Every structure is written in structure tokens, then in C-alpha cells.
Structure 1
Amino acid sequence: MPPAEIALSVEQLASLVRAQHPDLAAAPLRQVAHGWDNVIFRLGEDLAVRLPRRAAAVDLIDHEQRWLSELALRLPAPIPVPVRHGVPSELFPWPWSITPWYAGRPLPLVSPGDRRPYARPLGIFLARLHTPAPAEAPRNPVRGIPLGLRTEAFFRHLSAVPVERRPPVERLWRRLVATSVFSGPPLWLHGDPHPGNVLVEAGRLTAVIDFGDLTAGDPATDLALGWMAFDAEARRELRTAYAGEHVLDDDTWTRARGWALALAVALIANSDDEPVLAAVGHHALTEVLGEEDRT
């Protein structure tokens, strides 16, 4: 994980909230999470504050502020539409957001065998998200692109895969990457389809979060969630639910499997200090290879 270029303490963030949103200044603050790009604080019981940790993430906050309110109108589960915008100031030089706080556990904290109830609602969610994007939609250099453009990164990450798995992983990659490229109009994508961005509670999908990688392109990128989150039975439910709402051809599903393989090895290679993400990578790799064994 890259180091934070700017790190705010709770006391500094409290000053920032007080300066720009004084009506929220009395609400307690505590840090609850940080990723590669953003840090999250909980603000009172119902709100979260999301701030970039590094300059490379500033555009991601802008994208969320610009587009999420529009996308939320057609989605069947909540997404973190900013309810307040923070602007650059002497206290913090980049834009930031206040969003709703959503209850629920990240899906990786649910046993894989208990995740099936969430497959169908996620299939519907992705199908309704995947609509044609306007020309001014964000573009992401590593998501939604032709699968073949991931080849260099794939082989760079392959060395982190257990040695006995590397030959079948490489053979499978070479077959999947040869699948026909996406030829339709660029579709809206979440862009970061790992199950840690899915919140669930008591058999219910409570929110899909972290749209920092929001982009437009090949829907296969998002459909990689089928292997990253689920077993074969639940994955069939996700595919059936998606296909009930959106055209889903065999080539797109095959590319999705290729994306799952690329993201699996990337997570394995880059999650030495993140055991939950590493577990997601190993789960996805097992599912992708296991499906190969059945065919």
C-alpha cells in the first residue's frame, strides 16, 4: 500500500468539518478504514467522511461527486452518494466528501458457503449499472479495457502465485485472453469489483461502496465478482439474474473469468499486509481454476 501523502488526525478533521460544515461539528469522529487511495472516518451514527490519502486519488473523489447521484437513481441498492462536498482549503488541499454510513459487514467476512443469498441481488445491481455511459464519463487505464492489455501486469504478478499453480494459471490465461474483445458501446462500471466493496446484513445487500474506480468500458471487469465472491452454484445465480436484465453473451462471461484471474493474481501479489484481500485473491484463483477442472 502506498504511504499517505497527507494524513489527518481526528482533531484536524474535526477542525475541517467545523470550518466547512459547522452544523455537523458536534458529531463524534473516528477513523474506521483506509485503502490505497482514501481514508474513511465515521461522523456520528449516520455519516462517513471520505478523503484522498494521495494526489492520485483526487480525481476519484471528483468522479464520485460528479456522477454517483445520477447513477443511484436506477440502482436497486444504496451507493455512497455524497451528501456534502468538502472543498480545498488551507486545512486540506483536496476535495473530500461526506456520505451516508451504511450498516453491514463486508462480504469477505461472510463464509463463502453462506454468500449465496447475495448473488442474485448483485447480478441485478450490476445489470442495472451497466448502461451506456456518456462520452465524458471517466476513463480508467486499468479497468474496463481490453483484457489483453492486462497481460504485462498479469505476468508480473504471477510470481506471487504458489509455484505448483503457475503452469495451469498461465495456460488458462493464454486461453482466456484470446477471447473476442468487447465491441459494444462503453458501459458504466463500478471498476473495483472485489467483494470488500459489498456490504451485507442478515441475507440482505445493504450497499455497494467505493466507486473511486468508476469508469466506462467492458462489463466483464465488474462480472469478475462472480469468481471473486462466490462458489459455482452462487455464480450461476448471479449470471442468471444478470442475464434476466441485461444481454450477457458467452464471450463476455469468458472475459469476466479472465478478469477474475487477473485480479486474483494482483491481489495475491499486493496484499502481504492485507490478509482479507489476500484471501479474496486465493478464493478467486481457486474458483477460476476449479471451473477449468470441471470443464
Structure 2
Amino acid sequence: MSTGQVHPDQHPIDDDLVRRLIAGQFPQWTELTVERFPSGGTVNAMYRLGDAMVVRLPLVKGGAKDVSTEQEWLPRLVSRLPTAIPEVLGVGKPAEGYPWPWSVYRWLPGENPEAGALSEPVLLAKDLAGFVAAMRSITLPGAPEAYRGGPVASLDASTRAAIEELRGIPQEGVDCDAATAVWEDALRAPGWDGPPVWLHADLMPGNLLVDSGRLTAVIDFGCMGVGDPACDLFPAWNLLPAEAREVFRETLGVDDATWNRGRGRTLSQALIALPYYRRTNPAMAHNARHVIRAVLGES
């Protein structure tokens, strides 16, 4: 859970604002309780609405487009995926001084998995591979381009800048030379030469829900779209231990080039996140450190 303001330009959101928005646009739900839900997410605030719903509101302007993407595409994906995904129950509009669209979803039960504390890591790896494979099999036309879905080289400048920033934070203990070597290996890997595939594109532990160790739901589809299949390999390093990582790879049948790109992309995200969130979002910073250890421990 964030302990303070994560982004310098985020919009203030509190219980009273959410109550006013609900009363003005969904009066049938006015009597339901509104309570902030603690989340390690960085783009949206979440509020429980009664027992069966959740309100999700962008904290920053960049999240507004994600809301519209979910509202358009989630109803079309639900029947094509093996796990539960968010169901849009209400489409909120700017009001009460709040400037962006927002959504009301059905509440999905479950807990976020925690790297290093998985009760069924191999089974979870198979569940994740099944979800990724189902996403890739979707053939809906008119898909948006996935966030981060382009060539690995498009991340080069920001990744190298993050590595240099981490050189100036020795207390984090990142082996920046080793990180650079892994990153350059990803840059050398052949690019994806097939058609772009459907991706969730943000398979972080905070966007997964599990029960008894098994995957029950995937949430936060704001980055979804089509692109390089390597973009959905993130759980291999941000969640799964080594044995389960190999099961994930084998179940998906990932070739060496795609695996190297996926590892580089996952490392890049972690390297960029760590200096940005290390003082504002403990969950994101903790996972970034885990990814860096997991990736560099393989090399």
C-alpha cells in the first residue's frame, strides 16, 4: 500500500468525493458503504462499494485512457478467458471537480500472490500460462496497441537512464554492470516477427488474484492490446520461483529469443520502478527488488 502521494500530478481523491460521484450518477447505490481499499497500484484509487462492488478512479491523467480501454474491451474478452476478469457495472463520467472517466466493477474475491510465499507455485505457473495462451489466441479485430508492446529497443533510453540513476543509490545494492549485460542481451535477441498477439501487458502480482494458491482472476487490463508476446512473460521473474518459472516457459513453449526479450522487459520495468517508487510505494519497490534479484541470479 502506498504511504503517500505516488505521483506529483495526481488528483486528490477521498471517500467524500466518491460518495458524491456515486450519488450523482448511480443513485441506486447511494446507501451503500464507501471505503478506501488499500492497494499497491500506482495509477488508480480503489474504493469498496458495499460488499459486491468496487469503484476504480484514475489518480493521474494518463490513467484515463486505460479506463476507456477497459470499458470498451473487457465485455468482449470475458467469454474468451479461463479466469475471471473485471465486469463493468457502471461507467462513470467526470463530475464534482473530478476530471476523468471512472468505473464501477463487480468485486472479485481473492488475494494477491506474494513472491516467495506461494503455496502451489507449479500449479499457479500452469494457470498463468493458460491465461497468457488464451489471451494470445484472441482474434478480435481493431485491437489497441499494448502499452510496452513495441520493440525492446524502444525501452533502451529509459532503461539505461534508470541503471545510471541506481548507480547513484548504492544502498540499493544493484549490480548495475550485470543489469546492463542482461539488458544488452535482450537488445540483441531477434525481435518478434509474427503477427502481434493480444496481451494483458501488466501481469504484476498486484493484478493477480489467487485462492488456495491457484489463479482465480486477473484484474487491471488498462495496458492491454496487441504486441510482442514477450510482454506477458513478466510473472516468470516477478512472481514464480525457478522451478515454476521453467514450468511456465515449457507450458507456453517459449523460444529463446522471446524468453530473452521477456526477461529484459521485466528487468527494465523493475529498474525504472525502483528509483521512482522506493520512497512512495513500498509494494512496487519491493517487487522491483525481487525482480532484479531473480533476473540477475539467473545470469
Q: TM-score, normalised by structure 2?
A: 0.88
Residues 154 and 264 (structure 1), Cα distance of their counterparts in 2 relative to 1, 3 Å cut: same
* Number of the residue aligned with 1:195: 205
Secondary structure of 2:45's aligned partner: strand
Give the counterpart of 2:215 among 194, 205, 217: 205
* Number of the residue aligned with 1:283: 290
Residues 135 and 117 (structure 1), Cα distance of their counterparts in 2 relative to 1, 3 Å cut: closer
Shift in Å, 1:268: 1.9
CA root-mean-square deviation? 2.1
Q: Which amino acid aligns with 1:276?
A: A
* Number of the residue aligned with 1:267: 273
Uncovered stretches (5+) of structure 2, i.e. residues with no partner? 1-5
Residues 182 and 110 (structure 1), Cα distance of their counterparts in 2 relative to 1, 3 Å cut: same
C-alpha distance after superposition, 1:93-126 (max 9, x if no partner) = 3211111212222113761576443111011001
* Whole-Å separation in 2 of the counterparts to 1:135 and 1:102: 28
Structure-to-structure mapping, 1:234-249, within 5 angstroms: 234-243=244-253, 248-249=254-255
Could you tell me whether the CA contact under 8 Å between 1:88 and 1:95 is conserved in 2?
yes
Structure-to-structure mapping, 1:145-156, within 5 angstroms: 145-156=150-161
Matched, 1:179 2:185: no
Could you tell me whether the CA contact under 8 Å between 1:132 and 1:185 is conserved in 2?
no
* Whole-Å separation in 1 of the counterparts to 2:114 and 2:129: 17
Shift in Å, 1:132: 5.5
Shift in Å, 1:12: 2.4
Shift in Å, 1:9: 2.4
Shifted more, 88-97 versus 188-197: the winner is: 88-97
Shift in Å, 1:45: 0.9
* Whole-Å separation in 2 of the counterparts to 1:255 and 1:9: 40
C-alpha distance after superposition, 1:226-262 (max 9, x if no partner) = 111111101112123323xxxx332212211111221
* Whole-Å separation in 2 of the counterparts to 1:135 and 1:205: 28
Shifted more, 52-61 versus 2-11: the winner is: 2-11
Could you tell me whether the CA contact under 8 Å between 1:154 and 1:265 is conserved in 2?
yes
* Number of the residue aligned with 1:29: 34
Q: Count residues with an aligned counterpart.
A: 287
Residues 17 and 190 (structure 1), Cα distance of their counterparts in 2 relative to 1, 3 Å cut: same
Secondary structure of 1:83's aligned partner: strand
* Whole-Å separation in 1 of the counterparts to 2:226 and 2:139: 6
Give the counterpart of 2:234 among 213, 219, 224: 224
Q: TM-score, normalised by structure 1?
A: 0.89
Residues 40 and 180 (structure 1), Cα distance of their counterparts in 2 relative to 1, 3 Å cut: same
Give the counterpart of 1:88 among 90, 94, 113: 94
* Number of the residue aligned with 1:66: 72
* Whole-Å separation in 1 of the counterparts to 2:151 and 2:212: 37
Uncovered stretches (5+) of structure 1, i.e. residues with no partner? none
* Whole-Å separation in 2 of the counterparts to 1:113 and 1:278: 23
Q: Which amino acid aligns with 1:170?
A: T
Give the counterpart of 1:7 among 12, 17, 21: 12
Could you tell me whether the CA contact under 8 Å between 1:119 and 1:235 is conserved in 2?
yes
* Whole-Å separation in 1 of the counterparts to 2:77 and 2:244: 26
Could you tell me whether the CA contact under 8 Å between 2:205 and 2:238 is conserved in 1?
yes
Q: Which amino acid aligns with 1:284?
A: V
* Whole-Å separation in 2 of the counterparts to 1:281 and 1:164: 11
Could you tell me whether the CA contact under 8 Å between 1:267 and 1:280 is conserved in 2?
no
Shift in Å, 1:30: 0.5
Secondary structure of 2:137's aligned partner: coil
* Number of the residue aligned with 1:42: 48
Secondary structure of 1:17's aligned partner: helix
Q: Which amino acid aligns with 2:284?
A: L
* Whole-Å separation in 2 of the counterparts to 1:208 and 1:112: 17
* Whole-Å separation in 1 of the counterparts to 2:174 and 2:61: 39
* Whole-Å separation in 2 of the counterparts to 1:154 and 1:112: 29
Flag the structure with more relative contact order, 1 or 2, with Cα contacts below 8 A and sequence separation at least 6.
2
Shift in Å, 1:135: 5.8
Shifted more, 5-14 versus 128-137: the winner is: 128-137
Could you tell me whether the CA contact under 8 Å between 1:198 and 1:205 is conserved in 2?
yes
C-alpha distance after superposition, 1:18-72 (max 9, x if no partner) = 2211211111011114643211100111110011122221111000000011112
